[in-house]
């Protein structure tokens, strides 16, 4: 049994490549100013409004907040929609996005409106850690 398990683990296949890139690889919970990530952003609003976030706050779709997989809660980032150049500053207060590894951040509805991404739903962005 052990031999079979070892052989199966060794034949795991080739690693998947994603378009989300990081100029400085983030360690979990580390928020180094100047770190820039490129990938896709999505937004969330009505369905989650008033519900809990991973930080323990209540989600408010009217606030400038976002979900990120690894950045510390409270980290401020600049999110720039690379299709139109619009940018916003948001505070990380939740975890996500889940699903595709190409998605690197979920922004609140308020941030999505300023980024002009409501209709598109998903847009290419850069995420720069500010503080």
Q: What is the DSSP letter of 49?
A: T
The verdict on whether omega for the bond into residue 18 sits within 30 degrees of 0, i.e. cis, is no
Mean pLDDT of 66-83: 97
Domain 20-129 class?
mainly beta
Confidence (pLDDT) at 29: 54
pTM listed for this prediction: 0.76
Q: What is the dihedral of CA 89, 91, 96, 102, to 10 degrees?
A: 20
Domain boundaries in the chain? 20-129
- Comparing 55 with 7, the larger pLDDT belongs to 55
Mean pLDDT of 26-46: 81
- Could you give the percent of the chain with pLDDT greater than 90? 66
């Amino acid at each position: 049994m052990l031999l079979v398990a070892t052989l199966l683990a060794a034949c795991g296949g080739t690693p998947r490549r994603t378009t989300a890139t990081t100029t400085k690889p983030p360690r979990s919970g580390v928020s180094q100013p100047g770190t820039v990530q490129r990938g896709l952003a999505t937004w969330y609003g009505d369905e989650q409004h008033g519900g809990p976030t991973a930080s323990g706050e209540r989600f408010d779709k009217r606030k400038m907040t976002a979900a990120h997989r690894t950045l510390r809660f409270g980290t401020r980032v600049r999110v720039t929609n690379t299709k139109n150049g619009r940018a916003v500053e948001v505070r990380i207060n939740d975890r996500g996005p889940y699903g595709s590894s190409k998605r690197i951040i979920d922004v609140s509805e308020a941030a999505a409106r300023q980024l002009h991404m409501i209709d598109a739903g998903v847009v290419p962005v850069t995420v720069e850690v500010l503080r």
